[in-house]
């Protein structure tokens, strides 16, 4: 193997050990930290989902973080999918058409509410 190729291989192996850990235990710990950070990020700025989906903060953060790494990975993936579905549902409205929450938000109080009969 040439010197350049060996140097590049060593650099690549070092990079992988820094990013992913060198032992299996380190890999699990680093993956868990990465997933925990993703979950915390989602909780800090909750995704606005369609009403058909369970809200992000339906389960408190400290309880959610007690789940297994695989469960958290699947939850993060589901949140991303539900965000995509929500965007598609919102974009399927015709121009000028309001969604139900938008229509209720624009309702003005009835004039009769201001004046007693």
Q: What is the pLDDT along the chain (117 residues), one digit of tens a residue?
A: 788 899 999 999 899 888 888 888 988 999 999 999 999 999 999 888 888 899 998 999 999 999 999 999 999 999 999 999 988 887 766 767 777 777 777 776 665 556 555
Pairwise CA distance, residues 53 & 82, whole Å: 7
Contact 56, 93 (CB under 8 A): no
The number of angstroms, rounded, from the C-alpha of 83 to the middle of its chain's C-alpha atoms is 8
């Amino acid at each position: 193997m040439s010197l350049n190729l060996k140097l590049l291989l060593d650099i690549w192996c070092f990079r992988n050990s820094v990013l992913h850990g060198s032992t299996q235990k380190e890999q699990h710990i680093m993956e868990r930290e990465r997933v925990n950070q993703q979950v915390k990020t989602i909780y800090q700025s909750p995704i606005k989902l369609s009403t058909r989906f369970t809200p992000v903060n339906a389960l408190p953060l400290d309880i959610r973080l007690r789940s297994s790494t695989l469960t958290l990975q699947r939850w993060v993936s589901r949140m991303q999918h539900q965000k995509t579905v929500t965007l598609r549902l919102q974009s399927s409205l015709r121009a000028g058409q309001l969604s139900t929450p938008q229509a209720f938000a624009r309702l003005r109080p009835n004039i009769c509410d201001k004046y007693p009969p």
